[in-house]
Amino acid sequence: MSKLTMAVAPRDHAQGAESAPVTLVEYGDYECPHCGAAYPVVKKLQETLGKKLRFVFRNFPLNSIHPHAEHAAEAAECAGVQDKFWEMHDWIFENQETLGDADLLAAAKELGLDAKRFVKEMETQAFLPRVKEDFQSGVRSGVNGTPTFFINGVRHERGAAYEDLLAALQAVAAK
């Protein structure tokens, strides 16, 4: 089984307490239809497990098949420095079919971001190094497709079905 090579740290985007008994890390691609299908599954897991779960999202854009994925990841990171990472993350997954530059800027405005700053950071690719750092950590951890999940640092091999993930998370939480 593959292990997470870069431990979860303060640099990560996380929902849930650091003290939660289970941490679920997803390496995801914002344009990937499988990640889009996993998005509501993760939301439901968070609702079901509550304080027992911490969720971390890391960028793994597959540029060769998803031409907007890397730029969408940069947009989420831009939003993150304005304390709106999760709002942009959700917006992107809920609007996967519209990830062009104008769409992402409209989302930034809708979410109340400083649009001027957002445009400047997107144009200069200010957060591309962060996106690439996530990607490389995924490669080192054996990620070769999206979504890929790790539960408390160990790769989850059974896919993104709610029942499979819930059973795996509950088993780890019970330990």
Using CA atoms, how far apart are residues 140 and 27, in angstroms rounded to an integer?
Answer: 12
Residue 1: pLDDT band (50, 70, 90) is low
Q: Which residues pair with 148 in a beta bridge?
A: 27
Cα 151-167-141 angle, rounded to 5 deg? 20
* Mean pLDDT across 76-84: 98
Percent of the chain exceeding pLDDT 70 equals: 99
CA 71 to chain centre: 14
Beta bridge partners of 26: 57, 149
Q: What is the pLDDT of residue 159?
A: 82
Query: Do residues 31 and 66 touch, judged by C-beta distance below 8 A?
Result: yes
Instruction: Identify the CATH number of the domain defined by range 13-174.
Output: 3.40.30.10
What are 26-58's pLDDT values in tens digits?
999 999 999 999 999 999 999 999 999 999 999
Q: Is the pLDDT of residue 94 over 80?
A: yes
> Using one digit for the tens of pLDDT, what is the confidence trace for 108-136?
999 999 999 999 999 999 999 999 999 99
pTM, 2 dp: 0.96
Domain ranges of the chain: 13-174
**Cα(28)–Cα(95) distance, rounded to whole angstroms?**
15
Q: Name residues whose C-beta falls within 8 Å of residue 98's C-beta, 6 or more positions apart in sequence.
A: none
pLDDT for position 172 = 94
| Amino acid identity, position 52 | K
Work out the mean pLDDT of the chain and round it to a whole number. 96
- What is residue 126's three-state secondary structure? coil
